[in-house]
Structure 1
Amino acid sequence: MKKIFVLDTNVLLHDPQAIFAFDDNEVIIPAVVLEEIDSKKRLADELGRNARSVSRLLDKMRGEGQLHEGIPLPKGGVLKVELNHKSFIRLQEMFGDVTNDNRILAVALNYRLEQEDLAASGTVTAAREVILVSKDVLVRIKADVLGVQAQDYLSDRIIMSSDIYSGYVTLFVHPAVIDEFYTYRYLAVEALQLPVQLNPNEFVILRDEMGSSKSALLRVSMDGGKLEPLYLSNDAVWGITARNAQQRMALELLLNDDIPLVTLNGKAGTGKTLLALAAGLMKVEDEHKYKKLLIARPVVPMGKDIGYLPGEKDEKLRPWMQPIYDNLEFLFDTKKSGDIDKILMGLGSIQVEALTYIRGRSIPGQFIIIDEAQNLTKHEVKTIVSRVGEGSKIVLMGDPEQIDHPYLDSISNGLTHIVERFKGESISGHMTLEKGERSKLAQLAADLL
């Protein structure tokens, strides 16, 4: 039986195409949602862009009929703008204030009651399910209190949390396989008949299934056909040496000029930023492979004005960019406050920027580091990566468990999205850093808190 889905404003602001994601079911947009979208359309950020997209889409569909009567959708469903709030009195008794959220809840509750009345009167054989779709947790909780089904918007998710790509796999094999690798310095993937599908540039840790200490660390070739040894030794990179296997694998990706897209996941203190900066400095300052090292991070929320702070642009940016400067001070081993600014000014090849100022640019021949990428939406990540010009390398990193964006989570954020979309491509590589190396206290805090 077809269902009725009532959409919250945040669903459309998150994905303007959401109305097409419910197959042949009925999609209801409460009238108050249109008011909220109208209030957002003048914003210069991602919400404003999506609000304008929804407005144009609904205006186009208006040409096919009356929205309040229902417009057919491509998959057999119906789109309808609902004006009925007659159940709002009941909500006022429970929740009090006349808020937009409560008006949306009233529409969902009214549909549920109408379906129950139709079923009770025998007009229909069974009541249709009414489901409120919202990315607001509290709205879903309030719907549950009212007896209305509610769920998160999941259509844009490409994986489940348990299936997030880590960039490496541990396999237990016969010791003869490990001996063969050390003899011939490669293994054919097809001949191994592995139980898992390997991606290009994925790392493989081979361990002896008999229980000995034999092991090997390998990387899948760019064509996916062979397991090869790592190209790099564990030498220091700008004074930084890998402290665990994941960090060594990350450096392998960061220093490989044939991999222009690298993504790094990891909790606070796992070394993401430090490793990326050390690799970027080596490539720019020592090897001169790239003309400039560009480091950027979103000013959360991204796209908002960073004004109301004293000074010029660089002074306004400093509080947001301080984590980057902290790592640069460590790498340059500065002793006094302000020394790092003099060093960066003297070099001229290192630029620290906010993502607000990176959009619309074309960036060739640069080593680009995007920090805190988990706070980006899919569209924002697409916008940024599409800025990468010829001869550039981009590194996106962050912790999907630490998200400040109100409508993103560990699965729907831009960093996780690009990891999953590019994991099968030969030009990309990914690594999940798991062990904290900042301090024992920092590791305990990340695990326990």
Structure 2
Amino acid sequence: MHKMFVLDTSVLLHEPRSVYAFGDNDVVIPAVVIEEIDGKKSYQDIVGRNAREVARELDKLRELGSLCEGVELPNGGRLRVEVNHKSLNGFQEYFHETNNDNRILAVALNLHREEKEKESKKQVILVSKDAIMRIKADSLNILSQDYLYDKIEHAEEEYQGILNVTVDSEVIDKVYQLGVVRDDELKEVKEYYDVYPNQFVVLKDSYGSSKSAILRYDAVMKKFHPLHRGEESYWGIKGKNAEQRMALELLLDDNIKLVTLTGKAGTGKTLLSLAAGLVKVQDERIYQKLLITKPVVPVGRDIGFLPGDKDEKLRPWVQPIYDNLEFLLDAKHISDIKNTLIGLKNIEIEAMTYIRGRSIPNQFIIIDEAQNLTKHEVKTIVTRVGEGSKIVMMGDTEQIDHPYLDSQCNGLTYIINKFKDINIAGHITLKKVERSVVAQLAAELL
């Protein structure tokens, strides 16, 4: 059945080119959506940028004909800006308030009623990133859905960077005997599994003994390597479990330029990344500077504008980073932590707002809370990485504070899946909480 998709403002502000994502079906933009987008075009953030992009895209389509009457899209669909079907008669008996959301719903409802009377009827579907809008549409018996085009289906098949394989104990003995193993010598893995570059393979004894081995796949040399790092202490930090040792292996390898880490709160993502960054910047002098940043997205109610200069305004947002730095410095038995941080001129904590337009060469870059970034923001950040730099992006996809992002649609999940085939990238999902027993129980039970 031919379909008619009515787009909410949230969809266009999330993805300005979303009008092209619905195949050969009709795409309808209510006139009130254009008004809402116009009201946001002056914002100096990602919302304002997307609003301006939507305006440019629609202006380009306007050259093909009247948007009111409808224009043909390159994929065979048809787009129109709906200025009719906005009557609230019969609608206000369900929802009394007259606001923009209800005006959009009224358009969808009137189109739905009109199509029901036609012989060749079209299925009307409201598309919105706003869950309440979808719930209200459902109560009006209108089909509704989230914007699904950019979602990554990974609930059960999420790339975790670790492959568990059961083999005979003789295979594990051979691995310890040879050390580095060619992929044709480990047919038990390569013949039955898809192994990605820098993915870790955990070999376990099929007979249930405690024998095991951890290898990392080198797709360029087509070899499996044992872990080289993780047992030693780095600024007082050791890998407390196998996953943390794997993470350190990626973080401390200069050939891997992009590392992504996911995991629950307390799994050690930030601490491990900072320790690796300090090793590479302070001890080994591989990089000139350690640059740390994170998106400014509040948890709960925003506290509003903060007094002071840029550093003073930023301090509350990056306090968790300072907490981890102080822990690392304390582990090195440095008592005057405050003056030491001031003295470390090659550590920079920057606001993400100012990263656009920069080129960042020869730096160890850490992006914390990356799950609160959109696809466009992730692209903006990663394209800033200059020659000789390494970037680490981490976060917990179960703790997203951005109103229009979720675990399947966020910048961190997006980049993990896009870069899993790339030789200079690596990913690990950390599962074991090491912060405390209370944190472990909270992560599991709450």
- 1:36-435 matches, within 5 Å, as 36-118=36-118, 124=119, 126-190=120-184, 191-192=187-188, 193-223=190-220, 225-300=222-297, 308-333=305-330, 339-435=336-432
Quote how far apart the aligned CAs of 1:47 are. Answer: 0.8
Q: Flag structure 2 segments of 5+ consecutive residues without an equivalent.
A: none
Quote how far apart the aligned CAs of 1:77 are. Answer: 1.0
| Cα deviations by residue, 1:326-358 (Å, 9 ceiling, x for unpaired) | 00110111899x943311211211111111122
Q: Is the 8 A contact 2:201 2:216 kept in 1?
A: yes
Letter in 2 for 1:284: V
| Cα deviations by residue, 1:197-244 (Å, 9 ceiling, x for unpaired) | 000100010001111111101000142722111122511111001111
Partner SS state of residue 141, structure 1: helix
- Name the CA shift for 1:384/1:209 in 2 (closer, same or farther; >3 Å): same
Q: Is the 8 A contact 1:374 1:413 kept in 2?
A: yes
Partner SS state of residue 260, structure 2: strand
Q: Report the more deviating stretch, 76-85 or 317-326.
A: 76-85
Quote how far apart the aligned CAs of 1:377 are. Answer: 0.6
Q: Normalising to structure 1: TM-score of the pair? A: 0.95
Residue of structure 1 equivalent to 2:6: 6
Quote how far apart the aligned CAs of 1:76 are. Answer: 1.2
Distance 1:96 1:232 in 2: 63
Q: Identity percentage over the alignment?
A: 61
Q: Flag structure 1 segments of 5+ consecutive residues without an equivalent.
A: 119-123
Quote how far apart the aligned CAs of 1:183 are. Answer: 1.4
Q: Is the 8 A contact 1:299 1:306 kept in 2?
A: no
Distance 1:334 1:199 in 2: 36
Q: Normalising to structure 2: TM-score of the pair? A: 0.95
Quote how far apart the aligned CAs of 1:104 are. Answer: 0.8
Letter in 1 for 2:2: K
Q: Is the 8 A contact 1:4 1:27 kept in 2?
A: yes
Distance 2:45 2:30 in 1: 24
- Name the CA shift for 1:301/1:71 in 2 (closer, same or farther; >3 Å): farther
Distance 1:334 1:224 in 2: 38
Distance 2:180 2:129 in 1: 48
Partner SS state of residue 402, structure 2: coil
Letter in 2 for 1:299: V
Q: Report the more deviating stretch, 260-269 or 339-348.
A: 339-348
Letter in 2 for 1:186: V
Q: Stretches of 4+ moved more than 6 A in 1?
A: none
Q: Report the more deviating stretch, 292-301 or 318-327.
A: 292-301
| Cα deviations by residue, 1:18-42 (Å, 9 ceiling, x for unpaired) | 1000110000000000001001111
Q: Does 1:443 align with 2:440?
A: yes
- Name the CA shift for 1:58/1:233 in 2 (closer, same or farther; >3 Å): closer
Q: Is the 8 A contact 2:85 2:106 kept in 1?
A: yes
What do you get for the CA RMSD once the two structures are aligned? 2.0
Q: Is the 8 A contact 2:373 2:410 kept in 1?
A: yes
Aligned length: 441
Partner SS state of residue 232, structure 1: coil
Q: Is the 8 A contact 2:230 2:248 kept in 1?
A: no
Partner SS state of residue 220, structure 1: strand
Distance 1:423 1:233 in 2: 22
Distance 1:301 1:52 in 2: 25
Distance 1:236 1:292 in 2: 21
Distance 2:412 2:230 in 1: 29
Residue of structure 2 equivalent to 1:17: 17
Letter in 1 for 2:140: L
Quote how far apart the aligned CAs of 1:72 are. Answer: 0.5
Q: Is the 8 A contact 2:3 2:25 kept in 1?
A: yes
- Name the CA shift for 1:91/1:218 in 2 (closer, same or farther; >3 Å): same
Letter in 1 for 2:17: Q
Quote how far apart the aligned CAs of 1:84 are. Answer: 2.2
Distance 2:245 2:128 in 1: 41
Distance 2:303 2:274 in 1: 25
Partner SS state of residue 6, structure 1: strand
Distance 2:29 2:337 in 1: 53
- Name the CA shift for 1:86/1:229 in 2 (closer, same or farther; >3 Å): closer
Distance 2:261 2:230 in 1: 20
- Name the CA shift for 1:444/1:226 in 2 (closer, same or farther; >3 Å): same
Q: Is the 8 A contact 1:325 1:340 kept in 2?
A: no
Quote how far apart the aligned CAs of 1:410 are. Answer: 0.7
Partner SS state of residue 432, structure 1: strand
Distance 2:39 2:149 in 1: 25
